[in-house]
Amino acid sequence: MSHPRYTALAQTLPASVPFVGPEAQERARGAVFDARLGANENGFGPAASVLEAIKTNADQAWMYGEPESHDLRSAIAAHHGIALSNIVVGEGIDGLLSYLVRLLVTQGDHVVTSDGAYPTFNYHVAGFGGTLHKVPYNADHEDPEALLAKAREVGAKLIYLANPDNPMGTWHKGTTLEEMAAKLPDGCLLLLDEAYIDLAPADAIPDLAIEHPGVIRMRTFSKGYGLAGMRVGYALGAPELITAFEKIRNHFGMNRLAQIAALAALKDQAGLREIQKQVETSKQRLAQIAADNSLHGLPSATNFVAIDCGADGEFARAVLASMIDQGIFVRMPFVAPQDRCIRISCGPEREMDLVAHALPVALKAARGA
């Protein structure tokens, strides 16, 4: 009988995914969540103009997406004041991460990240056989100097850093990242994951030349623009690097409605500003809920708040478990000492009210346990 002949690398990999989705958790618990606040989706949704564009163009769903994403890339280029050759569009940052790792990493190549940072990046590195090196956070921030030192030590081809950070919501000033880019070892690429940059203060954005050969920046329409389900991300970089994506990307990976929705979102900057206000109000409410329970919400430049539960990871996991039992989907960092926190996404006032009711119950249950 014939069987698939898996690669040697594939045979060593676990059958796992970086995140267990809320739908899987709902199936396991036999009930839907009352509040979906764990995946950092934008619960306020896209601007009304974007929803209208999706509805108006829904009859185009029978067509493939335009393989060059030309109109969307042109709008992004105009928005950032750069050239079309500096932009590649992909299936969210997750898709672009996979393409970048495929371009740069093969078995035995070294990659540096922070211990507890975005696990999907680690998943892609493992999938292509890279050797991943992790450095600890420093005061709940990713540590640029430690990342650089480790990259020099191991001869890394790639450094991953998210600014603002997930899962802590903290951020570095752009000047810090400019200094980091100036110190990169030869042959090492700095990957800046800027998924939350539309929600960050202006001084978090580094002033880096788009032609810098050692930096690629990735952004998304999932967070600030509220289009996580559409899966639209883009990378900004030097033309030579951007052109390399043409060798391996899925040219029909972008669906047409996603392209239309992202284009409409980019055009409606007033809509984005309204979403930003809603997110800010929700962050303030989450911080107040934490304070009302004698806890501390970390300052955040994202659409979530990491709430320090005041003890260790075991206690925070008990709090998390109770929140889920009460129908509130939230997540938490995986690695100590950041795992002392639970992470709650922003959302409408009704869902914040549910959090305000559930958190003291969860804390009481965790203390009793």
pLDDT at 226: 97
pLDDT at 217: 98
Give the model's confidence band at 14: pLDDT under 50 very low, under 70 low, under 90 confident, else very high: confident
Q: Percent of the chain beyond pLDDT 70?
A: 100
* Cα–Cα distance measured from residue 367 to residue 369, given in angstroms and rounded to the nearest whole number: 5
Backbone angles phi, psi at 343, to 5 degrees: -120, 120
Give the residue, 24 or 2, on which the prediction is more confident.
Answer: 24
Q: What is the pLDDT of residues 61-113, one digit of tens each?
A: 999 999 999 999 999 999 999 999 999 999 999 999 999 999 999 999 999 99
| Helical (H) or strand (E) element with 297 | strand 296-297
pLDDT at 354: 98
pLDDT at 13: 87
pLDDT at 71: 97
pLDDT at 3: 85
Per-residue tokens: 152: 């020099």
Q: Kindly tell me if the per-residue pLDDT of 204 is higher than 80.
A: yes
pLDDT at 39: 95
Q: What is the pLDDT of residues 205-220, one digit of tens each?
A: 999 999 999 999 999 9
Give the model's confidence band at 350: pLDDT under 50 very low, under 70 low, under 90 confident, else very high: very high
pLDDT at 16: 80
Average pLDDT score over residue span 104-126: 96
Average pLDDT score over residue span 253-273: 97
Give the model's confidence band at 118: pLDDT under 50 very low, under 70 low, under 90 confident, else very high: very high
Average pLDDT score over residue span 239-254: 96
Q: Helix 70-80 crosses helix 256-267 at what angle (to 10 degrees)?
A: 20
pLDDT at 20: 87
Spatial neighbors of 33 by CB under 8 A, at least 6 apart, are: 22, 25, 26, 324, 327, 328, 329
Nearest to 222 by CA among 196, 244, 202: 196
| Helical (H) or strand (E) element with 236 | strand 233-236
Q: Percent of the chain beyond pLDDT 90?
A: 94
Residue pair 356/289 in contact (Cβ under 8 Å)? The answer is: yes
Q: Kindly tell me if the per-residue pLDDT of 1 is higher than 80.
A: no
* Cα–Cα distance measured from residue 243 to residue 233, given in angstroms and rounded to the nearest whole number: 16
Q: What is the pLDDT of residues 313-346, one digit of tens each?
A: 999 999 999 999 999 999 999 999 999 999 999 9
The structural domains of the chain, ordered by start, are: 19-45+270-368 (3.90.1150.10), 48-267 (3.40.640.10)
Q: What is the mean pLDDT of the chain?
A: 96
- Model pTM? 0.95
pLDDT at 19: 83
Q: Kindly tell me if the per-residue pLDDT of 369 is higher than 80.
A: no
